[in-house]
Amino acid sequence: MRILIVEDEQLTARNLAEMVRELISDARIVGMLSSVREAVAWFADNAMPDLVFMDIHLSDGSSFSIFDRVDIRCPIIFTTAYDEYALRAFEVNSVGYLLKPVGKEALGRALKKVELLRGKAPVGDAELIRKVADAILRERGSYRSSLLVSVRDKFIPLRVADIACVYFEDKKSVAIRFDGTRHTVGGMLDEVMRQLDPRQFYRANRQFIIARAAVKDITVWFGSRIAVNLVVEVPERIVVSRAGVAEFKKWITD
């Protein structure tokens, strides 16, 4: 496995590399970089690695700025001394988020999440990344209790408990509160769903995420599908495909 380490503390980088080699027999460290500038240059000149370890705070800025200039198509495990960036990390292919000092046991668990699914999907597969990110978020209990929404010229926190559904329209995600008011939420529906507890919210189709508490009733629809009716008014009928009916029924009754 080709592994890149982006870390501005040399001792931390060396210790991480040593632990990785002990835990993964075929690990090959293809580079140890210390800055945003070095990382951007490295990706421009080298083939995509199988896995990246990346500190969030580098010598010349935040590692998130790397993603503005490089399309990184492999899993990433972030390492940081701060706990506040976990959810943002999962928006950029992260499959792990380790707090410093990184211990061998925590590192092993993060690597295991990747190894367990490598045989079932390509390493950079989006579905793999989503499943692992969801599993890590469940373990950490890090689902959002509120989302930032835009109101005129400012942002305000919207309590997740007040959201009846989120739908995608005109290239933006819109949250509908139980009182019927609507607010624009940043990000695509996939990004919004990763921040919500899947026990309370369900991705009904490409256009809608619905809250369990907002479901009023369910109607049998054409082609063995179902239509979900909410306690709030929505811009179009929410239809669950035939393939998704069993999963939806399990979710709503769990």
Q: pLDDT (tens digit, 9 = 90+) per residue, 35-79?
A: 999 999 999 999 999 899 998 888 888 888 888 888 888 888 888
Question: What pLDDT is attached to residue 26?
Answer: 86
Question: What pLDDT is attached to residue 111?
Answer: 83
pLDDT in tens, 151-191: 777 778 899 999 999 999 888 899 999 999 999 987 788 88
Phi-psi region of 93 (alpha: psi -120 to 50; beta: other; left: phi over 0): left
How would residue 19 be classed by pLDDT, with cut points 50, 70 and 90? very high
Q: Which of 18-27, 151-160, 173-182, 193-202 shows the highest mean pLDDT?
A: 173-182
Which of these, 59, 11, 20, 19, lies nearest to 39 by C-alpha position?
Answer: 59
Phi-psi region of 196 (alpha: psi -120 to 50; beta: other; left: phi over 0): beta
Question: What pLDDT is attached to residue 156?
Answer: 85
Query: What pTM was estimated for this model as a whole?
Result: 0.49
Q: Which superfamily does CATH assign the domain made up of 2-140 to?
A: Response regulator (3.40.50.2300)
How far lies 212's CA from each of 60, 85, 168, 191, in Å? 44, 28, 18, 19
Question: Which residues make up the CATH 3.40.50.2300 domain(s) of the chain?
Answer: 2-140
Is CATH 1.10.1610.10 what the domain over 146-253 is classified as, yes or no? Answer: no
Average pLDDT over residues 137-156: 71
Better-predicted residue by pLDDT, 127 or 110: 110
